[in-house]
């Protein structure tokens, strides 16, 4: 009888790196930040995953991913992510996907879904009937010479305060849901819990869905095939 695939899901963010082994309940995390390089991330993941045995790795990356590889340097981390040999560094096969797309896949329940990741930045992913596409919407102009991410990301929350930030989240959610004609919106990311009231057609996501998305990349291979050109920020 074939043994279950042991999958380590890694969620790389601008504030933390989080890891979870499939079958475990409690995720482990450590700080990341603007000086973290990919080599330091791998060392951090190895340290966090000590005692866990895994066959493959899924990694959510906070930047543009093309054909399973980072295509741009992330805005909130250090340099050197493009062209880095992740498979050799981990010593395991690695599936890499945009971080918003990974959490969107873990949140998906069919139909047309928009995912907004309210974290250090703003992650935006769209899934239509099982096909996922992350977008660059976070960096499009929104108001007063600022972008959607400037309003909905962490810097926006700190600048606006919770009350105005919540109004901005509601406004942007409605605009994008209408533009993409989605069935529902999932609001995820570390700051989603700061919302008091959810906009129409929106539901609250959970950061654990990022790990579920990472597991699905290996358990349901069609996701990687469909996400071959996923991109974001």
pLDDT surpasses 60 at 75: yes
pLDDT surpasses 80 at 97: yes
Q: What is the rounded CA–CA span in Å between residue 56 and residue 137? A: 31
Q: Is 200 inside any structural domain?
A: yes
Q: Is 232 inside any structural domain?
A: no
In DSSP notation, 19-55 reads: EEEBTBSS-EEEE--TT--HHHHHHHHHHHTTT---S
Give the residue numbers spanning the domain of 32: 7-101+208-226
| pLDDT tens by residue, 191-212 | 999 999 999 899 999 888 999 9
State whether 87 and 172 are in the same domain.
Answer: no
- Assign 226 a pLDDT band (cuts: 50, 70, 90): low
Structure tokens at 76: 């909130």
State whether 176 and 153 are in the same domain.
Answer: yes
Instruction: Pick the range with the lowest mean pLDDT from 132-136, 158-162, 180-184.
Output: 132-136
Check residue 54 and give its pLDDT.
98
- At 215, which CATH number? 3.30.420.40
Q: Is 73 inside any structural domain?
A: yes
Q: What is the rounded CA–CA span in Å between residue 95 and residue 15? A: 22
**How confident is the prediction for the chain on average, in pLDDT?**
92
* Number of domains into which the chain is organized: 2
Instruction: Pick the range with the lowest mean pLDDT from 1-10, 17-26, 108-117, 144-153.
Output: 1-10
| Interval 47-72 mean pLDDT | 94
């Amino acid at each position: 009888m074939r043994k279950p695939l042991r999958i380590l899901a890694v969620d790389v963010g601008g504030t933390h790196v989080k890891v979870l082994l499939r079958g475990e309940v409690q995720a482990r995390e450590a700080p990341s930040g603007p000086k973290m390089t990919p080599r330091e991330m791998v060392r951090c993941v190895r340290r966090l995953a000590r005692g866990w045995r895994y066959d493959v790795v899924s990694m959510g990356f906070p930047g543009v991913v093309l054909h399973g590889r980072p295509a741009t340097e992330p805005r909130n981390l250090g340099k050197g992510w493009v062209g880095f040999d992740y498979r050799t560094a981990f010593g395991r096969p690695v599936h890499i996907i945009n971080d918003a797309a990974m959490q969107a896949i873990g949140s998906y329940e069919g139909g047309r879904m928009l995912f907004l990741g309210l974290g250090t930045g703003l992650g935006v992913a769209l899934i239509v009937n099982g096909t996922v596409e992350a977008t660059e919407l976070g960096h499009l102009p929104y108001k007063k010479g600022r972008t959607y991410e400037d309003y909905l990301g962490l810097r926006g929350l700190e600048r606006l305060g919770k009350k105005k930030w919540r109004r901005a989240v509601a406004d942007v959610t409605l605009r994008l849901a209408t533009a993409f004609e989605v069935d529902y919106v999932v609001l995820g990311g570390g700051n989603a819990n700061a919302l008091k009231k959810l906009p129409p057609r929106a539901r609250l996501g959970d950061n654990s869905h990022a790990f579920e998305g990472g597991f699905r990349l290996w358990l349901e291979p069609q996701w990687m095939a469909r996400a071959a050109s996923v991109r974001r920020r």
